[in-house]
Structure 1
């Protein structure tokens, strides 16, 4: 069975996007950007909700061809394109860059994906991750916390019907006061 991980940047007050879907507060240091790039390089498959897919696919497919692209951006773009991806959306009609579109029930599809052989599966996008969270499918939460309060927006966590007990497995500090905490779900 594959491990499903929900990994996102968050504000200190727990939001993955500020009001208006503003992500400007989460600009990574070089060290943090390299950590995300290495993570993408080691990910067996990424699952995206529509909004996160639109954000990622509007930039990363050609980021390495842009004037002034750094070596780190070039590396990340290639890793992102090569990584198998699944987009869950009822409104998106086409996907590209090693990506498959799922328009049916996300929980059923994620359950089937987890049962297959392969590497770690990352899930991103608030709505998609919330469905997996409520269904008890997430095995690990990786929270990269930036020292900023945005006061509202899209929360990292959703409302749950039951408690989910977690075990802390890693902490790390990055430049600019950014902290990573990684928790595994107790089963």
Structure 2
């Protein structure tokens, strides 16, 4: 069975995006950017909701071809293009860059993907992750907490019907007071 991890940056008050989808508070340091790049390089399959897919696919497919691109950004772009991706959306068409589109039930497809043999999967996009969270499909949570209070927006966590007990597995500090905490789901 494949492991499913929900990993995203969030504000101290728990939001992945401020009102208006503003992400200005979450600009990564070089060290944090390398962390995200290494995650992409190690991920077997990335699962994206529509909005996160649109944000990622609007920049990363050609980011390594832009003037003045840094080696780290070029590496991330190559890793991102090469990584298998699944986009869950009933409105997005077409997809490219080693990606396939799922228009049906996300929980059913994520359950099927988890049952396959293979490398770990990451899920991104708070709405998609919320469906997987409520279905009990997430095995690990990686919270990269930025020292900012944004006061509202898109929350990292959704309302749940049942408790999810977690075990702390890692903490790490990045420049600028950014804190990574990694938890595994206790089953």
Q: TM-score interval w.r.t. the shorter chain? A: over 0.9
Give the deviation of 1:126 after TM superposition: 1.1
Q: Deviation digits for residues 61-117 of structure 1, max 9, x if unmatched?
A: 000001111000000000000000000001012100000000000000000000001
Q: Deviation digits for residues 36-84 of structure 1, max 9, x if unmatched?
A: 0001000000000000000000000000001111000000000000000
- Give the whole-Å Cα distance in 2 for the aligned partners of 1:46 and 1:175: 26
Tell me which residue corresponds to 1:20: 20
- Give the whole-Å Cα distance in 1 for the aligned partners of 2:125 and 2:29: 22
Q: Note the 1:14-93 alignment, pairs <5 A.
A: 14-93=14-93
Give the deviation of 1:122 after TM superposition: 0.1
- Give the whole-Å Cα distance in 2 for the aligned partners of 1:99 and 1:11: 29
- Give the whole-Å Cα distance in 1 for the aligned partners of 2:118 and 2:144: 25
Give the TM-score of the pair, scaled to structure 2: 1.00
Question: Considering only aligned residues, what root-mean-square deviation do their CA atoms show, in Å?
Answer: 0.3
Specify every segment of 5 or more residues in structure 2 that has no aligned partner in the other structure, as ranges.
Answer: none
- Give the whole-Å Cα distance in 1 for the aligned partners of 2:56 and 2:127: 16
- Give the whole-Å Cα distance in 1 for the aligned partners of 2:97 and 2:55: 14
Specify every segment of 5 or more residues in structure 1 that has no aligned partner in the other structure, as ranges.
Answer: none
Secondary structure at 1:61 match in 2: helix
Tell me which residue corresponds to 1:95: 95
Tell me which residue corresponds to 1:128: 128
- Give the whole-Å Cα distance in 1 for the aligned partners of 2:85 and 2:16: 20
Tell me which residue corresponds to 2:150: 150
Secondary structure at 2:80 match in 1: helix
Q: Deviation digits for residues 122-142 of structure 1, max 9, x if unmatched?
A: 000111000000000000000
